[in-house]
Amino acid sequence: MSKDLIYQKGIVMIIVLKENPNPAELNSLRDWLRSLNLEVHYSQGSSTTLMGLIGDTSQIDLDMMKSLPVVDKALRIQDPFKKASIKFKPEPSVVKVDGVSFGDGSLPIIAGPCSIENESILMDVASSVKSNGAHMLRGGAFKPRTSPYSFQGMREKGLELLIAAKKKVGMPIVSEITEVSQIDLFEEVDLIQVGARNMQNFELLKELSKSKKPVLLKRSPAATIEELLMSAEYILNGGNENIILCERGIKTFETSTKNTLDISAIPVIKSKSHLPVIVDPSHGTGKNNLVIPMAMAAVAAGADGLMIEVHSAPHTALCDGPQALVPDEFAALSKKISNLKEHL
């Protein structure tokens, strides 16, 4: 037993053992930890024994550790993510998407319809948002819908229309991927969106980590900020550093909004990670009258950009377009944001 356990090198995880742990189980735990190349130090109190670990504990699942029969509590002293951490890279990352920069204070706005429905509506919206200050065009082709009876998106054909709009109007585009096998279809898409429901589709994340194509990673409504950063770590670990995070609301007991948009996630992420973070107030609230105030709040709290649904005729949209702003409302928002960012 070491009397100076934490002193010399820096403990990275502390484990509080249960009283009177089974010695065989305890030895087995120690042996397993050593097999992970961790130094294990003990510290015996009057009624409690602590273990201090030195080394790389990133492969240890903290929930697993807490569930061990001999373990009472466990505390990770270093965050479980490494390449996403501000300690790994203290300066903010700037992600460039075909000339549009996220993370350098320029605060771009991504706008467009929730789902692509036909060419003329898409072109109308694209021209309209461009002339009103949007920097990128969004449009969903593969739509993950709660119900099998809801419109599932135009799929390949929708992507083709979006790519056509990109060329005609001259804005980089973003669209959502829902399956590994679709990756080839996204070659001309400038920013690939991983939607909230796929934030922990790790097979997809691993595939997206293999190229340098920028990824927009949306937070799942059930994910902690740490889990979001761990999903980003999958992409970073595979070699792709072009990641933009997106807050879009978490599930809570409140029913007057579809989700509770967690604005505090912005400064929290900035205190832990170098990655840029944008906000989607359309899905985050589910109410079109809340989009503008929440977009303002996001920018005032330090967001690196916004993602806004805009529709030329929201009441005829096939998808959740109806919660979208109409072009006039988007123009108003764009002006307000532009004014706000000059005075923060």
Q: Which of residues 128-147 bind a copy of itself (CB under 8 A)?
A: 144-147
Q: Which CB sits closer to a copy of itself, 68 or 122?
A: 68
Q: Please give the angle made by the CA atoms of 51, 53 and 55, to the nearest 5 degrees.
A: 175
Indicate which single residue of 66, 89, 96, 213 sits in contact with a copy of itself (rule: CB under 8 A): 66
State how far the Cα of 4 lies from the Cα of 7, in Å rounded to an integer.
Answer: 5
d(CA 149, CA 262): 30
Single out the residue of 132, 198, 240, 334 in contact with a copy of itself (rule: CB under 8 A): 198
Of 31, 156, 187, 188, the one binding a copy of itself (CB under 8 A) is: 31
**Are 38 and 76 contacting, i.e. CB atoms less than 8 angstroms apart?**
no
Q: How far apart are CA 319 and CA 210, in angstroms?
A: 32
Question: Is-contact 162 175, C-beta < 8 A?
Answer: yes
Smallest distance from a copy of itself to CB 11, Å? 6
Contacts of 13 (CB under 8 A, 6+ apart): 52, 53, 57, 60, 65, 74, 75, 76, 77, 78
Considering only residues 204 to 233 of the shown chain, the ones binding a copy of itself according to CB under 8 A are: 204, 206, 220-222, 224-227, 230, 233
The CA-CA-CA angle for residues 81, 267, 301, to 5°, reads 155
Least Å distance between CB 95 and a copy of itself? 20
Residue 155 lies near a copy of itself (rule: CB under 8 A): no
CA distance 189 to 192: 7
Q: How far apart are CA 340 and CA 155, in angstroms?
A: 37
Whole-number minimum distance, CB 168 to a copy of itself, in Å?
Answer: 27
Q: Report d(CA 19, CA 11) in Å as an integer.
A: 22
Task: Pick between residue 66 and residue 96 the one whose CB is nearest to a copy of itself.
Answer: 66
Region from 119-127, 133-141, 161-169, 234-242 binding a copy of itself, contact rule CB under 8 A: 234-242
CB of 99 to a copy of itself, least distance (A): 28
Residue choice 101, 127, 200, 211 for contact with a copy of itself (CB under 8 A): 200
Residue 43 is a binding residue for a copy of itself (CB under 8 A):
yes
Angle between helices 156-165 and 119-131 (to 10 degrees): 40
Shortest Å distance, C-beta 186 to a copy of itself? 15
Q: Is 127 in the site for a copy of itself (CB under 8 A)?
A: no
Establish if 338 lies at the interface with a copy of itself (CB under 8 A): no
Residue 234's identity, in one-letter code, is Y
Cross-strand partners of 53: 13, 40
Place of tokens 């977009």: 295
Cβ of residue 171: shortest distance to a copy of itself, in angstroms?
25
Among 20, 59, 91, 184, binds a copy of itself (CB under 8 A): 59
| Residues in 78-97 at the binding interface with a copy of itself, rule: CB under 8 A | 78, 80-82, 87
Which of 9, 168, 210, 335 is close enough to bind a copy of itself by CB under 8 A? 9
CA distance 255 to 253: 6
Q: Should residue 342 be labelled a site residue for a copy of itself when binding is judged by CB under 8 A?
A: yes
Number of residues that bind a copy of itself (CB under 8 A): 127
Query: Which of 6, 14, 32 is closest to 71 using CA atoms?
Result: 14
* Binding-site member from 20, 37, 63, 91 for a copy of itself (CB under 8 A): 63
Q: What is the CA radius of gyration of the chain?
A: 23
Nearest CB to a copy of itself, comparing residues 96 and 227: 227
Binding mask 292-321 for a copy of itself (x = CB under 8 A): -xx-xxxxxxx----------xxxx--xx-
